Amino acid sequence: MSATEIDYYELLEVSRDADDKTIKSAYRRMAMRFHPDKNPGDAEAESRFKQCSEAYDVLKDPQKRAAYDRFGHAAFQQGMGGGGGHGGGGMGAEFGDIGDIFESIFGSAFGGGAGGGRQQARRGADLPFDMEISLEDAFKGRKTEITIEVSQPCEPCEGSGAEPGTGKRGCSMCNGHGKVRAQQGFFIVERTCPTCHGRGEVIEKPCRACGGEGRVDKPQTIEVDVPPGVDNGTRIRLAGKGEAGPFGAPPGDLYIFLHVKRHKVFEREGTTLLTRVPITFTTAALGGSIEIPGIDGEMIALDIPAGIQSGKQLRKRGAGMPVLQGRGRGDLVIEITVETPTRLSARQKEILRELQETETGDECPQSKGFFDRIKDAWSDLTD
C-alpha cells in the first residue's frame, strides 16, 4: 500500500487540526509500533513504518503541511508519467510555488538554480525562555541554572538518525543530487527531492531511539549569566543552546527574556531609582538629616532642608542602577512625604497650641497665598 494512497493524518491517527506536539507524539507512538526491529520479517509493518515517517516529515514542517492541506499528495509529485530523478522530464508536474520557476531561470540569485547541489540540513529552532529575577539581581547580576525540555542529539546514533552499525545510501529518487526536475510547458522546474528532502541520501535503517530523526527531547540544565544593569525585556542569547538540528545539523539558540519583579521600596525608570520617604512635620519645619538603605545595601545620608514640602524630590547622584554593559550608575530620587502626627500627648498638644497662638500667617506662604486668592475671588463675586 502506497503512502500516497493514504491520508497522512489518518496514518498518524490524528485530526487535521492537531498541533505540533500531538503530531510528534503520534509519530513516535506509531514508529515504535511498526519499527522493523519489533516486527522482524513483517513486510507490512516495515511498509507502514516508512509511510508514517513520510507523513511525519511533511506534517512537522509548517510550509509542507500547508501545501499538503491545500493540494494533498499532488503538492509533492515531481512528474506524472515521466522520470522522477534529477534528469527526469515528464509533463504535468505540480509546482510548489513560483520561486521554483525563478530558481530554474535565474539560478542562485533566487535561492538555488538548476544543477544545484545537496541542501544542508536545516539548523534547529531557536527557543525562548522567560526568567523572573529580583531588582537586587538586576543590580548585582547573578549566575543561575535553568532546566528546560529541549531536543538534543540522539546519543545511540550520534544524531545521524541511523541505527548504530548501519548507514545511509544515495537517494534513488534524485540519484543523490538532492533535487529533482520536471518539465512544465517551456520551463524545466527544479525542486527539492521529496524523498530525501534535499540531503541526497536516505537512512537504511532508522534509529530505534529517535525514530530516525537524530534527536530526542530530554531535560537539559543550562547556566545563565545575568549581567548587572538588566531591565524588563532584556534578552540574553545563548548560542547553540536551542533545539538540536535534525540529522546532526547545528542547533538553534536559546533566548532568555528577563522579567524584573516589583520591589517593595524602589521603583525603576531606566537607570534611575525612585522611592518615597515619610518625615515628621517637625523635621520638615526645622530641617535635619535622615538615613535610608540603598539598593546596594549601603546606608545613604540625606540632608533635609528646613521648610521642605510634601512632594519635594531630592536626588542622590550615582546611587541608582548600573548602566548595562557600561560604566557608572544612575541616580536615586527621593520624594519627601511630610507626615502629620495622629497621636499626641497632652504636653505635645500644649506646645502646638502655643505655636498656633504665635502664628502670623507668614510662616506658611502657600496657605496664605491660597486664602488671599479666595478672598479676592469672593470680593469679585460680591461687588
pLDDT band at 119 (very low <50, low <70, confident <90, very high): low
Averaged confidence pLDDT in the chain: 81
**Is 380 a member of any domain?**
no
Residue 174, annotated as binding a ligand = yes
Residue 154, annotated as binding a ligand = yes
Q: Which residues are CB-contacts of 81 (< 8 A; sequence separation ≥ 6)?
A: 90, 91, 92
Same domain, 250 and 297: no
Residue 307 in this model has a pLDDT that exceeds 80: yes
Do strands 288-293 and 299-304 pair parallel, antiparallel, or not at all (unpaired)? antiparallel
For the chain, percent of residues with pLDDT exceeding 70: 79
**pLDDT for position 40:** 83
CATH number, domain containing residue 27: 1.10.287.110
Least trusted range by pLDDT, from 90-94, 95-99, 272-276, 350-354: 90-94
pLDDT band at 131 (very low <50, low <70, confident <90, very high): very high
The DSSP secondary structure of 12-37, one letter per residue, reads HT--TT--HHHHHHHHHHHHHHH-TT
**CA 247 – CA 160 distance, rounded (Å):** 5
Q: pLDDT of 230-267, one tens digit each?
A: 999 999 999 999 988 877 788 899 999 999 999 999 99
CATH number, domain containing residue 367: 2.60.260.20
| Structural domains in the chain (count) | 3
**pLDDT for position 383:** 58
- Show the beta-strand stretches assigned E in 88-240: 127-133, 142-153, 168-170, 179-184, 187-192, 201-203, 215-226, 235-238
User: 235: which 3 cell numbers?
Assistant: 534578552
**Is 379 a member of any domain?**
no
**CA 347 – CA 230 distance, rounded (Å):** 52
Residue 52 in contact with residue 62, Cβ under 8 Å? Answer: no
**pLDDT for position 318:** 95
Same domain, 95 and 228: yes
Residue 52, annotated as binding a ligand = no
